[in-house]
Chain A
Amino acid sequence: EPEVTQTPSHQVTQMGQEVILRCVPISNHLYFYWYRQILGQKVEFLVSFYNNEISEKSEIFDDQFSVERPDGSNFTLKIRSTKLEDSAMYFCASSPDRGYNSPLHFGNGTRLTVT
């Protein structure tokens, strides 16, 4: 069964550094998402992306964050200047359409540790 893949599985970076988290969504899916879970907290929405532009973003997704689909397969999340509080598990997800009954297909996540 096709799946969403994320790399790397674990990324350690120093505060102030830029990181890029990578995702390959399921090939025929059209909607892409980033969610994150800070340890001990709820999974929270960051951004959704469709047709090469941001569809919706949360209050967390400030100017330090950006997303891109640089080619036909990858979907990336960039954090420009990481802070300690960016440490979290970041999940990429995709769905075939925007329908309200479409489930999200998640990747295994990238654990980001900012020191």
Chain B
Amino acid sequence: ILNVEQSPQSLHVQEGDSTNFTCSFPSSNFYALHWYRWETAKSPEALFVMTLNGDEKKKGRISATLNTKEGYSYLYIKGSQPEDSATYLCAHRTSGSRLTFGEGTQLTVNP
């Protein structure tokens, strides 16, 4: 994998459903994996920054896991609510200061 890829591109779920999406990234020269939540007309907001293989982080109903050896991270949302509707971006950081972003997963939670 040469780029950061996210899947699916978009997702529609019903309120109360649990959901997850994937971020794939190059496993070489890995330093950190960021997840951001981006609501329309607002700024991207940091959810998690993960650096260690096997890391699991949780914030309320949202959690994320990291596998640096195979180059993927999962984001899980338990019991989705309409206010979870947003684009979820992952970004990969290598040794420099830049983040390389995926295209994002656009989540819509229907009431």
Contacts and interface: CB of A to CB of B under 8 A. Distances in A.
Interface stretch (B16-24, B68-76, B94-102): B94-102
Interface of A: 3-4, 31, 33, 35, 41-45, 48, 50, 55-56, 58, 91, 98, 100-109
Q: Contact size class for B? A: 20 to 34
Given A45-B98, A48-B97, A108 B43 contact: yes
B103 A108 contact: no
B6 to A, nearest CB: 9
Interface of B: 4, 31-32, 34, 36, 41-46, 49, 51, 89, 91, 93, 96-104
A100 B93 contact: yes
A68 B34 CA distance: 27
A110 to B, nearest CB: 12
Given A100-B31, A101-B49, A55 B43 contact: no
Contacts of B43: 3-4, 91, 105-109
B27 to A, nearest CB: 16
Nearest to B43: A106
